[in-house]
Amino acid sequence: MQNRLTRAELVALVDQTRRDQHISVRAAARLSGVPASTMQGWLQGRHFPTPALRPKFLALVDHLGLSAVLHGGLWQGEL
């Protein structure tokens, strides 16, 4: 079985990749179409995207080139 990232690991990876690509929190928020405060909450792991906002989070993940690290369990509450 393939190793899977936990939510906390995914958030850390997204945040580090964002930083490595020199994308600010506000720029990440603009890319996703969410308020900067929402993006900050996601990146700090305070909350995970709701079902309605998951496509916006996935837009950021895709922009960062991280789509391949996702698995369905992250979105189905398996963790």
Q: Where are the domains of the chain?
A: 7-70
Per CATH, the homologous superfamily of domain 7-70 is lambda repressor-like DNA-binding domains (1.10.260.40)
- With 50 as the cut, is the pLDDT of residue 71 above it? yes
Tell me what pLDDT residue 7 has: 83
Phi/psi of residue 36, each to 5°? Answer: -60, -35
Residue 30 to residue 72: CA distance in whole angstroms: 25
Residue 31 to residue 25: CA distance in whole angstroms: 10
Tell me what pLDDT residue 1 has: 41
DSSP 5: -
Q: Please tell me the pTM assigned to this model.
A: 0.82
Residue 40 to residue 62: CA distance in whole angstroms: 18
Tell me what pLDDT residue 48 has: 87
Please answer whether residues 18 and 43 qualify as being in contact, where contact means their C-beta atoms are separated by less than 8 angstroms: yes
- With 70 as the cut, is the pLDDT of residue 73 above it? no
